[in-house]
């Protein structure tokens, strides 16, 4: 269960996003809540995003493509100080009540996209009840500090690596694995988070010089280039064009530094998720 996603709601503030995506989400927040994001200094170093805005001319261009934005032409977007900023809105009283009831009902609670202040409150509530939380696409919707990841894992929660080109993905899996307490074993899942604002990874920059060789074997099976109708896909030129090429991506991960250990972690992630789920079941109000 997501407590909040892109915009603020009655339960919690949302984490700010950077770049052009953050501008659009700020406008969404204005439509949904009647106001733009209010920001302040972040609770911890390294958190937050540089908040961009649109000028009146840029807003006119936007309204030309999206007429729903036309009512906003009479007002200017707020100006924000330079540097990283965080949402001032945290977990509300209703949000704290909702989290306590979700824990009482043994629901799995998604901590991504919560504002930094809301996530801190959610972690504190979970720690008082020794209840696991989920980060299903870690790093999207507010970055996690190393201290927060350690707290997440001590609770028995789980963090997921977002898809990327093979070398980066292998490193991210191994990085997340390091936060697991001793004796917990392997288990870092993948979180694609693919949608209108996210995309699947393209081909590696050096794929021409060092391509994935077809056919390849993985998990005891022989894989050839994936075919849909007359279209044949190749990771070296198409990247992860659709979910069917995740098998190709994982085969490429295996050949990178630390790749074999990273894959062992991925292939143990279903078990790790079930262990996390089990921790949520016996916990009462």
> Which pLDDT belongs to residue 196?
64
| Mean pLDDT in consecutive groups of 10 residues from the start of the chain, 285 residues | 95 94 92 95 92 89 87 88 96 98 96 96 96 91 90 95 94 94 87 80 93 92 95 97 95 92 95 93 62
Examine residue 51 and state whether it is found in any structural domain, yes or no. yes
Examine residue 81 and state whether it is found in any structural domain, yes or no. yes
Examine residue 30 and state whether it is found in any structural domain, yes or no. yes
Closest CA to 40 of 4, 11, 83, 75: 83
Examine residue 111 and state whether it is found in any structural domain, yes or no. no
Examine residue 57 and state whether it is found in any structural domain, yes or no. yes
Q: How many separate domains does the chain show?
A: 1
pTM (two decimals) = 0.90
Examine residue 140 and state whether it is found in any structural domain, yes or no. no
Examine residue 40 and state whether it is found in any structural domain, yes or no. yes
Examine residue 70 and state whether it is found in any structural domain, yes or no. yes
Domain holding 75, by residue range, is: 19-87
> Which pLDDT belongs to residue 142?
83
SS3 96: helix
Joined together, the tokens standing for residue 18 give 């950077």
Cα gap 118→10, rounded to integer Å: 12
Residue-level length of the chain: 285
């Amino acid at each position: 269960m997501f407590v909040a996603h892109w915009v603020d709601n009655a339960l919690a503030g949302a984490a700010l996003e950077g770049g052009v995506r953050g501008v659009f989400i700020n406008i969404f927040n204005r439509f949904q809540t009647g106001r733009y994001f209010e920001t302040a200094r972040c609770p911890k170093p390294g958190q937050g995003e540089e908040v961009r805005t649109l000028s009146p001319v840029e807003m006119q261009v936007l309204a030309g493509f999206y007429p729903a934005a036309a009512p906003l032409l009479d007002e200017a977007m707020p100006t924000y100080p330079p540097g990283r900023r965080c949402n001032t809105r945290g977990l509300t009283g209703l949000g704290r009540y909702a989290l306590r009831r979700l824990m009482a009902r043994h629901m799995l609670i998604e901590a991504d996209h919560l504002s930094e202040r809301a996530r801190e409150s959610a972690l504190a509530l979970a720690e008082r009840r020794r209840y696991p939380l989920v980060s299903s696409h870690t790093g999207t919707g507010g970055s996690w500090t190393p201290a927060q990841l350690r707290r997440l894992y001590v609770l028995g929660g789980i963090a997921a690596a977002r898809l990327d080109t093979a070398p980066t993905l292998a490193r991210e899996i191994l990085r997340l694995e390091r936060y697991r307490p001793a004796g917990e074993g392997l288990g870092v899942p993948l979180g694609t988070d693919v949608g209108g604002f996210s995309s699947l990874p393209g081909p590696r920059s050096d794929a021409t010089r060092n391509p994935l060789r077809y056919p390849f074997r993985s998990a005891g099976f022989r894989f050839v280039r994936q075919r849909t109708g007359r279209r044949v896909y190749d990771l070296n030129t198409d990247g992860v064009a659709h979910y069917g090429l995740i098998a190709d991506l994982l085969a490429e991960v295996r050949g990178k530094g630390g790749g074999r250990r990273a894959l062992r972690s991925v292939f143990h992630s279903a078990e790790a998720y079930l262990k996390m789920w089990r921790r949520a079941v016996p916990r009462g109000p």
